Each structure stands twice: as C-alpha cells, then as structure tokens.
Amino acid sequence: MSLRAGEGLTSHGLATEQHSPRGPVVLATLASRPNAEAEDYAIGAALDAGTRLVIINAVMLPALPLTLYLVGVSGAIRPEDEDLAAVRASAERAASLGVPVEHLRVASRHPTAALSAVAKEKRAGLLVFGPDPERIGMRKFRSAARKIRKRADCLVLVLPWDEQLSAG
C-alpha cells in the first residue's frame, strides 16, 4: 500500500467502497495528529454508516512567494510544521479496519476555511474536528472549532469536547 499525501490517499485492496446515499465522514485536523478520541469516533461513524472516511490535514501555507515559485508547496512547508506521519498512521489504521480512506493534505493561507470548503466539496455527512489541542494550543483549537461550526453544511462534532467552546 502506497501512502503519499497530496495524491488522495486511498486504501487500495484493504477495503472496498460501499455506496451509501450518505456523505462521507470527514476527520479534520490542523497540521496535527488527530486526537485519539476524534479518530476513534470518526472511524466508528464511517463503519456504522457504511461510508468512506476522508482525513483532511490542513496546513498553514507560509508567505514565501519565491520558495513557492522555485520548489512548490512541499518545499515551503517544513516537516516540523505538521504531523504528516501521524496523520498517515491514522489513515492506515482506518484502512486496516476495512474503512475506505481518502487522505488529503491541504495547504492554505486560511486552513480553517479550507477545511470547511473541502468538507463541502466532498459533501460530508459528518465532520469530526479533532486536532491535538496540545500541539496547536487551546486558543487556536477553540477559534477554529467555532469557525468550522459556523461554516459547515453538515453535522459537526468537536473532539475532545471543551465545555468552554459553547461559551461565547
């Protein structure tokens, strides 16, 4: 199985896609490994619904125009700026359980807006927002969760749940 972000990771041979009238389950993260609780929930929801899992890792695209021009997006994003291996591991775990998986790495100047846009494009039935809050920070986590809940066209579950998310 070849897993390279940016090519639309699929679970070749590990799971056959079942056609469902429902949209896919989206597990969204911000340049971070998915929180274990969010990953488990998203995989379980995809299994229960008989639909595919789309894992979206949105990464902040730095303002480096010359680098982008000369070497492209992959040269502008440093490996320490994202948990790509951990996100790939999440995709592999889901695929090993028989869930059809698509892994997307989205680079944007506005990663939260990009997550919402891709979920709309994929016609998601459920969006599980679950980056590791320790990696991205609670302030950024809360802000992104609020924005995603406002922009989403589908059900949104934010994990790990923070009681302060609903305040304000």
- pLDDT of residue 13 exceeding 80, the answer is no
Instruction: Report the candidate in 57, 146, 70 with the shortest Cα–Cα distance to residue 107.
Output: 57
The pairing of strands 53-60 and 25-30 is: parallel
Distance CA 168, CA 4 (A): 39
How far from 101 is each of 5, 51, 82, 109, CA to CA, in Å? 12, 9, 20, 26
* Out of 1-15, 18-32, 75-89, 94-108, least confident range: 1-15
The answer to whether 9 and 95 have CB atoms below 8 angstroms apart is: no
More confidently predicted of 66 and 154: 154
Return the pLDDT at 31: 87
Distance CA 125, CA 24 (A): 6
Distance CA 73, CA 110 (A): 15
- For 72-122, how does the pLDDT look when each residue is reduced to its tens digit (9 = 90+)? 556 555 555 677 888 899 999 999 999 999 999 888 889 999 999 999 999
Name residue 70's amino acid.
L
Q: Count of residues for the chain?
A: 168
Q: Please report the DSSP string for 85-101 in residue order.
A: HHHHHHHHHHHHTT--E
Task: Report how far Cα 23 is from the mean position of its chain's Cα atoms.
Answer: 15
How far from 132 is each of 37, 67, 83, 86, 128, CA to CA, in Å? 10, 29, 10, 11, 13
Rounded mean pLDDT, 20-32: 84
